């Protein structure tokens, strides 16, 4: 195990081997990577308890902190922190167009990726916990999808948990993906309207860019095709605390005058590319709706189907009239697998996953109703990514869960707040508030 220092902390690399299918422990194996983080003032053999952090997603590698950034400085005061790259992400055995091609055709790829949901992630955590803690329970901090995983953890293996802290990630226990997106589109609309109220000049800018793209879709650096629908998906940033400002600065210098007229500037195209590309996290797109799947129903491209119920998000109709262009949010559509070169080879695989019906249930309401693990959850008022009403209904269904409902932060509050969100949740879980 390699150890190294950053300002105020000591990091140690860990590698673990886990089964692809925990139901077949002797079968194919995956490697998991994680970083242990302790305060630089602690003895290397500190007796502090463990906290494992589960990143949002799905399909996102754990955030690469530098020193005591965000909540990490607060956490290492009380814990040895494990920053886990969930299976298929980061330095754990990667799953992307390059590696999945080795598995065979789309059917084999889809069957393989069915093992990359919250249930498998939690069983990974249990394997890792037993190796690190000697069997002692640990604390879980789950952000967004990491909170979904933590909720499954409470259902499947509460004996492994000392405390659970959830930030922006209390899922509905029974909503189908259709229900998730019917609740999501009105929230997205409110975020877009709030953006235009803050930056009214962006109404015309967005319409002008979309109209240009309707006539001439742009090929971005790296091969991504920018269409009006892809441009709309820039609205995903509006769920973060500074997202509206990020979007405004992207739009303000979109065009440059050339000898042949106005063109989208290289700077704009380069700025848009990292927001839209799934090259670094393809599982986010491929498995996004699968995180809601359980109980025998396919997701069947829920975000795309439900979007038709909200005609204000139709870019062509907005451009034909005088309505503002509505950006979209955390929604994945079939066309993502046409415009993004990192996703194109996975289109048929995504189709098969969207049609799949044999998803296992993720949550056990009876077990959650009898929960004895201290749980505290930050619920962000009008969170664009996770429905507040769904979260509060789940909070009432988990025995002993304490909530902090706040509009001080958006979905990224655990990062944007420095130590404050984690400090508040620890105090709630410990009955200090």
Residue pair 387/323 in contact by the 8 Å Cβ criterion: no
Catalytic pick among 43, 45, 260, 358: 358
Cβ-based burial of 285 (10 A; exposed 0-12, middle 13-18, buried ≥19): buried
Provide the token pair at 288: 């996004």
- Give the three-state DSSP class for 283: helix
Q: Is 340 a catalytic residue?
A: no
**Structure letter (DSSP) for residue 81:** E
How close are the terminal C-alpha atoms of the chain, in Å? 39
183-205 burial: b if 16+ Cβ within 10 Å, else e: bbbebbbebbeebbeebeebbeb
- Give the three-state DSSP class for 212: helix
Q: Is 358 a catalytic residue?
A: yes
The CA-CA-CA angle for residues 330, 415, 245, to 5°, reads 60
Annotate 11-58 with DSSP letters as a single string: EEEEEEEEESSTTSTTS-EEEEEEEEEEETTS-TT--PPEEEEE-SSS
> How far is it, in rounded angstroms, from Cα 427 to Cα 361?
32
Catalytic pick among 39, 92, 120, 144: 144
**Residue 163: enclosing H or E segment and its boundaries?**
strand 161-167
Q: Is 22 a catalytic residue?
A: no
The CA-CA-CA angle for residues 424, 420, 43, to 5°, reads 90
Catalytic pick among 176, 340, 411, 417: 411
> How far is it, in rounded angstroms, from Cα 144 to Cα 153?
14
> How far is it, in rounded angstroms, from Cα 91 to Cα 81?
17
Among all residues, which ones are annotated catalytic? 144, 358, 411
């Amino acid at each position: 195990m390699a150890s190294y220092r950053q300002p105020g902390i000591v990091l140690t690399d860990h590698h673990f081997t886990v089964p692809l299918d925990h139901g077949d422990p002797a079968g194919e194996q995956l490697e998991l990577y994680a970083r242990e983080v302790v305060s630089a003032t602690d003895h290397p053999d500190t007796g502090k308890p463990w906290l494992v952090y589960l990143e949002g997603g799905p399909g996102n590698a754990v955030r690469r902190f530098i020193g005591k950034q965000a909540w990490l400085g607060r956490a290492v005061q009380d814990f040895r922190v494990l920053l886990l790259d969930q299976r298929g992400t980061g330095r754990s055995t990667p799953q992307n167009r390059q590696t999945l091609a080795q598995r065979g055709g789309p059917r084999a790829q889809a069957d393989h990726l069915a093992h990359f949901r919250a249930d498998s992630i939690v069983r990974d955590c249990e394997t890792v916990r037993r190796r690190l803690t000697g069997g002692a329970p640990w604390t879980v901090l789950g952000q967004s999808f990491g909170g979904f995983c933590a909720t499954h953890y409470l259902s499947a293996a509460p004996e492994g948990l000392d405390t659970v802290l959830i930030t922006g990630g209390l899922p509905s226990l029974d909503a189908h993906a259709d229900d998730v997106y019917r609740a999501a589109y009105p929230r997205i609309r409110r975020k877009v309207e709030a953006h235009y109220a803050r930056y009214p000049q962006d109404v015309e800018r967005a319409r002008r860019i979309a109209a240009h793209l309707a006539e001439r879709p742009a090929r971005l650096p790296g091969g991504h095709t920018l269409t009006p629908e892809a441009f709309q998906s820039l609205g995903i940033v509006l769920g973060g605390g500074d997202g509206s400002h990020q979007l405004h600065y992207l739009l303000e210098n979109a065009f440059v005058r050339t000898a042949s007229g106005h063109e989208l500037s290289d700077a704009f195209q380069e700025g848009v590319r990292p927001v839209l590309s799934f090259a670094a996290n393809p599982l986010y797109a491929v498995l996004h709706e699968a995180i809601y799947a359980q109980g025998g129903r396919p997701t069947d491209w829920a975000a795309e189907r439900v979007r038709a119920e909200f005609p204000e998000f139709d870019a062509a109709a907005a451009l034909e009239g005088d309505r503002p262009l509505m950006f979209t949010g955390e929604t994945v559509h079939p066309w993502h697998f046409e415009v993004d070169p990192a996703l194109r080879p996975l289109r048929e695989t995504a189709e098969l996953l969207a049609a799949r019906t044999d998803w296992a249930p993720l949550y056990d309401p009876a077990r959650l109703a009898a929960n004895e693990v201290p749980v505290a959850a930050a619920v962000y008022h009008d969170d664009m990514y996770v429905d507040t009403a769904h979260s509060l209904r789940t909070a009432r269904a988990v025995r002993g869960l304490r909530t902090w409902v706040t509009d001080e932060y958006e979905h990224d509050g655990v990062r944007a707040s420095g130590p404050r969100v984690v400090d508040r949740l620890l105090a709630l879980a410990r009955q200090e508030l």
